[in-house]
Structure formats: C-alpha cells, structure tokens
Structure 1
C-alpha cells in the first residue's frame, strides 16, 4: 500500500489529521513578519511564540474543516491521497473532526485576546476574518476552494495578512517594507494550493469545482506556477538593492532555487494523484526552505543595519 494511503491509529492519526506538511504555510509568515520588525524594534519573544502557536492552530483547524466538508460532500474516500484520512481510513467520526477544529479555533482566539491586549483590539477583527476565511475555504454553500480564487485567498490571508499582523504587534504601526516582503511568501503559499488543485483536478472537475487549474488546464497551470515562482525570486533580488533595507543576506534564498525547478518538472511528468504526490512534497519543501532562508536573511540584514 502506498504510504499516502496508510491507516493510522493513536496519536499518529491526529498528527496526520493536521496535515503537518502544510503547516509551514503558518509559521513562515510569522517568522518573516518578525524578521521585518527587527529593523524597527526589539523583538518580543512572547508575542512571537503566541502568534506562532495561534497561526498553527488556525491552519490545523482549517485542514480539519477541509477534511470534514470534503467528506460530507463525498469528495474523499479511502483511495484519496493528500488528505489526513482521519475519517475515511482511520475511523474518526466526522463530528469529532469538526469539534476538534472548533476547539483549535477557540484556543487560537484565546491566544489572540492576549495578543490584542498587548497591541491593538483591531487585531481581533482581522483575526476573526482570517478564521472565517479558513472555515469558508471548504465550508458554506459556495466554498472558496471551489472557485478560481482559492490560491489568491490562501496567499493573501496566510501570507500578506499574517505578515502584516505579526509586524504590527511587534512594532505598533504598519510600513511598506513588510508588505513588499510578503509578496514572495504569499506567492509560495498560494502555489501549495495550486499544487493541490493540479493533483486533484480530475476528481475536482467531476465534483463540479471551478478552480483555476480546471479552467485553464494542467499545462497552463504548471506554467503559471513556474512564472510565479520566478517572480518570487525576482522580488527578493530587487529588494537586495531596495534602500535602506537591501542586503546581500537576502541572497540566501537562492540556495532553494533547485526546488521549484524540481517541482515543476515533476508536475509535468506525473499525471495521477499518486504520481503527483512527490511534486506536492517538493512544493511544501520549497515553501519551508525558502521561508526559513528568507526570514534568516531578513533578520541578519536587520542586525547588520543596526
């Protein structure tokens, strides 16, 4: 049996339910936003840690809602790959998955109250909006994931919005700098969603979804992915000369350049969901490696600028 179709029990089934390979989309923006804030202030570690935990909880809960609603709509079965499989393979009841997601949201909201008390209560409204998007991504009468805008919503809210919130709670005001730095992060997070949609395009089309991948086809979608990955690197290269924040430390991201090339090649070569899982894996790895290198470069640039 493929490793992507294995059954899990005990703690393992909860671990896979959270879809850990996607969680980098939560902590990379927090690290990047914090690194940007270092230019303007000393970093409060308590806010960094709490923001990190809250975002991980929201992302994990979003994955659980995804599992629940896709099961309810008949999209997932025991042959589905790329899912946690908690319901269709591991014996968890749909209600328990849904309730666990709600519990994660409640804990994240409590952590958010502490963040608001240390910064601004306007953050509460933005946090509620982010959680609503997480829920309605696969929930509600017209899920965002069924439209051509799934990648845009994911990239904007998990990339740009989280980076700006993280920056704001540290600094106390907004700047253009973190907004520009959010562009490559937002793109890379959106591409995780596009990779998922490329893999699932056949079943998604049969279910009635109208994702960007379905509308333009696999080839154009992969070309779009390649171009957007290129833009991610070009934005970083531009910021190297972006005064007063440019720094050669940002060139650290070039160490990850081989990963998007590998992902794109594997997407072109594979066709079935199982064949495309290695490409999906590389997509997640790239977001992680690029994100860490980018955050490290930004932080080192801030340290040397002080």
Structure 2
C-alpha cells in the first residue's frame, strides 16, 4: 500500500469502527428523555452539538486504540501482524497516529461551542472523557490493561455521556445538582450494567490474547468461570433494574416492560456462556446487549412522552 493512498474508505472504516457510531444516538435519546422527565425540558441545539462531539470523539478513540494497541503489543508475530489492522493492512504507523490526533482536535470544535452555550461543567465532563478515551490504551499503564477497564468504559459510555446530555439540556433553565447526578445514575444503571457485561465478555474471549500482550484485565484475576458468573449476574440485575426504578417512582411504568427483553437476551447469550469465543459466539452477546440498549431507551422515552 502506497503512503499517499493508504487512507481509503475501507481502511477508515476499519480504523474508526464507524459502523458502531449509530449506537451513540441511543445514549442521547435517553439523556434527553431523562432531562424531560425530571425537569420538563431539553435543548435540541445543545444535544445535537454534544452528539456531534461524541460521534467524532468516538472515531478518534477507536483509531487511537488501534494505534497504541499496536505500539504496546508484546505479541509481535500474531497480534501485531495478523490481528491489529495497522499490521494486518500494513498501514503507516505515524499517519495513523496523526489521524487519531486530527480527529481528537476536530471533536473539540463542537465541544467549544457547547461550552460557550452552557458553562464550565461541560469542560469537566469533556476533560474526564478525553482522559479516559486517550489513556484507555495510551501511557505506561493503559486502562484497558487493568482490572478496572470494564467498569471505567461502562460508566463513561452508559452514564457520563447521558449525564452530560442532561446538563446541556437544562443549562440555564434548571439547577444541576448532586440529585441530578443521582437520579441520572439510577436511570442509566440498567444500561451501565449491561454495557459492563458486554465489555467483560470481550475480555473473557480475549483472555489469551490479553495475557500474551501483558494486559491484566478483570478476567485475568477472576478466571473465566468466575467472570462468566459475574457477567450472568450483571445481565440479570441490569435487565431487571428498570422494575426497581419504577417501584421507586423514578421511571415511567412503561419502562418496566424492558425487563421482559431478558427472555430474548438470555438464549442469545447462552452459546457464549458455553463456549466464550470471539469469532463464534461473541456476536450473540453484542446483539443481545444492543437489543436491550435500544429496547430500554425507546420504552423509557415513550413512557416519558406518554406521561408528559
């Protein structure tokens, strides 16, 4: 591949994983619905700016992850050459690094407008997001090589994004308090637990690869059997938690119906529970998790609309 023509559309898709970007819309639908439920308002202009920011930032993080995973790889023969897209596609390392940097800079532009429209909390949320996104794979001790990686990712994607969405929706219209953070956490907990389980499943399937590359994730310390039990418990608690929120009076009654999705999710995850394999059974976990992400969010949003 020539240096001048290395960044084709297929390569861009491979590095950025742009095909996962539509899932970001779900996080913002939920965040907007929470703002509407609790405060009776949401700001479409700010929400769209925030969505654009997260969309570009997500692309940057994926490119950065591929870059630093390649740089840090101890398994140079298999992982670096055959698994990581930089080695597998013979991509110029420096240019991939510049692509990640360019996308990070580009993502900051809508963030600046968002800050001007709202206030300083956006800078704090943004700083936390950038630190997690960059150091997930960068640095001497990247987050993805530690036993807290799954938790950090789940909280940042399934809670911090929605919390930011709530803030930009109510900025200048209602106070942003600890109570706001608490109610948002409760309403995002079903997604957070299920997202944690999807991340945990990924690391269960990648255990041998992670060990070869000196990444000591939670699965490394618990073992596959215990990690699978944690995953099962997380899926059950997360999927049934909407009922708790309804009983606490924090969510519309329609949200409780999302717990029925567990009936469809569990069979889709069973093959992975029996044989946790990245190529053969992991996609069932992704599909089951996505089914709940979409189902819970849409039922919650519909419940808010009917209640309003």
Cα separation, 1, equivalents of 2:136 and 2:298: 31
Larger RCO, structure (CA 8 Å, separation 6 or more): 1
For 1:18 and 1:41, how far apart are their aligned partners in 2?
Answer: 36
CA separation of 1:223/1:70 partners in 2, compared to 1, >3 Å: closer, same or farther?
same
Asked if structure 2 preserves the Cα contact closer than 8 Å seen for 1:260 and 1:283, the reply is no
Where do 5+ consecutive residues of structure 2 fail to align? 1-5
Change (3 A) 1:208 1:249: closer
* Alignment partner of 1:197 out of 182, 194, 203: 203
1:31/1:51 Cα in 2 relative to 1: closer, same or farther (>3 Å)?
same
What do the CA deviations read for 1:86-128 (whole angstroms, capped 9, x no partner)? x122232122222111122112211111111222122112202
Once the two structures are superposed, the pairs formed by residues 261-300 of structure 1 within 5 Å of their partners are: 261-263=267-269, 265-270=270-275, 275-300=277-302
Match of 2:247 in 1: 241
The residue number in structure 1 matching 2:109 is: 110
Residue 160 of structure 1 deviates from its aligned partner by 1.6
Name the CA distance, whole Å, in 2 between partners of 1:187 and 1:165: 19
Structure 1 length-normalised TM = 0.86
Taking structure 2 as the reference length, the TM-score comes to: 0.86
* Cα distance between partner residues in 1 of 2:211 and 2:197: 19
Residue ranges of structure 1 left out of the alignment (5+ in a row): 1-7
What's the CA shift for 1:138? 0.7
1:26 deviation in Å?
3.7
**Is the alpha carbon distance of 1:188 and 1:200 closer, same or farther for their aligned partners in structure 2, counting shifts above 3 Å?**
same
Greater mean alpha carbon deviation, residues 216-225 or residues 247-256: 247-256
Listed one character per residue, the Cα deviations across residues 169-219 of structure 1 (whole Å, up to 9, x for unaligned) are 102324232221111221222223212211210121122221111111111
CA distance in 2, matches of 1:259, 1:62: 28
Deviations 1:228-252 (A, max 9, x none): 0111112112123232533124414
- Which of 72, 79, 82 matches 1:79? 82
Query: Number of residue pairs matched?
Result: 291
Q: Deviation per CA, 1:153-181, whole angstroms, max 9, x where unpaired?
A: 10111222111111111023242322211
